[in-house]
Amino acid sequence: MAGKRKTPKMVTTKEENMKYLRKIFTMLREIEVSINAQSHEKYNNTEIRLMNEIVYATGTGERLISTQLASRLGITRSAVSQIVAKMEKDGALRRVPDAVDRKIAYIELTDEIAATYKVIVSEYADFVGKVVAYMGASKMERLFTLADEFSEAVALALEDCNAKK
């Protein structure tokens, strides 16, 4: 069975797993709070994440609709529609109908907000620079190496869970 991977034996207790889960949640929350505290703009974390997804997709030649944004952000399509409506009213986003299927509307940043987004990202980059200064570049590299390994382990664990369904 060359292609079959064996599921590893659990080596931690349920209590230890809960401790790790709390640490992961705490780390993510601290990162989110730190970045939000850095921002002087009127956009919350979800709105910034939505803009990130649009910018990333645009950079790869892709255009996104509400359903795709909902999936990428892990929120409902209804929540995305509310966010888009608010940001569209503020002049940050626009809906662009598809040339062939008018029922499809792509979500894009306005030119004005695209410039503001660059400033926000620059501020975030400066903040990360301060974190690196405190932590050290070599520790950051180790952190990202471990984060990549963590992501791979998460993907494998998801495969295991989905295989059992």
Three-state SS annotation for the chain: CCCCCCCCCCCCCHHHHHHHHHHHHHHHHHHHHHHHHHCCCCCCHHHHHHHHHHHHHHHCCCCECHHHHHHHHCCCHHHHHHHHHHHHHCCCEEEEECCCCCCCEEEEECHHHHHHHHHHHHHHHHHHHHHHHHHCHHHHHHHHHHHHHHHHHHHHHHHHHHHCC
54, 109 Cβ separation under 8 angstroms: yes
Q: Note the pTM of the prediction, 2 decimals.
A: 0.64
pLDDT for 38 beyond 70: no
Lowest mean per-residue pLDDT among 28-32, 56-60, 69-73, 102-106: 28-32
Span 103-132, pLDDT tens digits: 899 999 999 888 888 887 888 888 888 889
Lowest mean per-residue pLDDT among 30-34, 36-40, 64-68, 109-113: 36-40
